[in-house]
Amino acid sequence: MLLLLAASIAAPLWAGTHSAAAFKKLQSLSGDWEGKDGHGMAVKTSFKVLASGTAVMETLSPSGMEEMVTLYSIDGDGIALVHYCPTNNQPRMRVVPDSDDVKELSFDFQGAGNLKSPSTGHQHHLVLSFNDADHIIETWTWRQDDKDIPMLFHLTRKKN
């Protein structure tokens, strides 16, 4: 019995899946980033690895908007996120990577906490594109009344 417990601790559920490589890519974003949105307005974000490496927290601060927090974690063969929005809802999204060579993660809506109805405004989709180690693009899709509005953020790693 003790041997089975030790084996389960040594080999996480996601071992051997593409989610492990994708999550390492998310962890590699740790630090401060800055850039512009699709309208040329300043945006800042930071990524921090938490909870012994099991979660990544992003704090996104677009110009003229309240900050938003997104928590990423491995979820079996995929990666899940919960987005904490100033609109007081908490969309949940998930992606299942299909390769260890991750160039893009496309998260799909799975539901939301505190969402009054599906037509209430919420973040519905996220595409995170890895251009290189110091450049990423985030494309968030806001959905309200069955209309999608993309919000684009071009980000560069801040050098100290």
Per-residue confidence band for 8, with pLDDT thresholds at 50, 70 and 90: very low
CATH of 18-157, one of 1.10.3720.10, 2.40.128.20, 2.170.150.70, 3.40.50.720: 2.40.128.20
| Closest residue by Cα to residue 124 from 96, 92, 152, 95 | 92
pLDDT for 122-133, tens place per residue? 999 999 999 999
pLDDT at 93 over 70: yes
Residue 15 has what pLDDT?
52
Q: What's the pLDDT score for residue 18?
A: 85
Give mean pLDDT, residues 9-31: 77
- pLDDT exceeds cutoff 60 at 3: no
What local confidence, expressed as pLDDT, does residue 98 receive?
Answer: 84
- Give me the mean pLDDT over the 33-50 stretch: 96
Name, in order, each residue with C-beta under 8 angstroms of 120's C-beta and a sequence gap of 6 or more.
89, 144
Q: Beta-strand (E) ranges in the chain?
A: 31-37, 42-50, 55-62, 68-75, 78-84, 90-95, 104-113, 122-132, 135-144, 147-157
Domain boundary assignment for the chain: 18-157
pTM: 0.88
Whole-angstrom CA distances from 42 to 3, 19, 134 are 53, 31, 17
Q: Check whether 84 has a pLDDT greater than 80.
A: yes
Classify residue 47 as exposed, middle or buried by CB count within 10 Å of its CB (0-12, 13-18, 19+).
buried
Q: What is the average pLDDT across 96-119?
A: 91
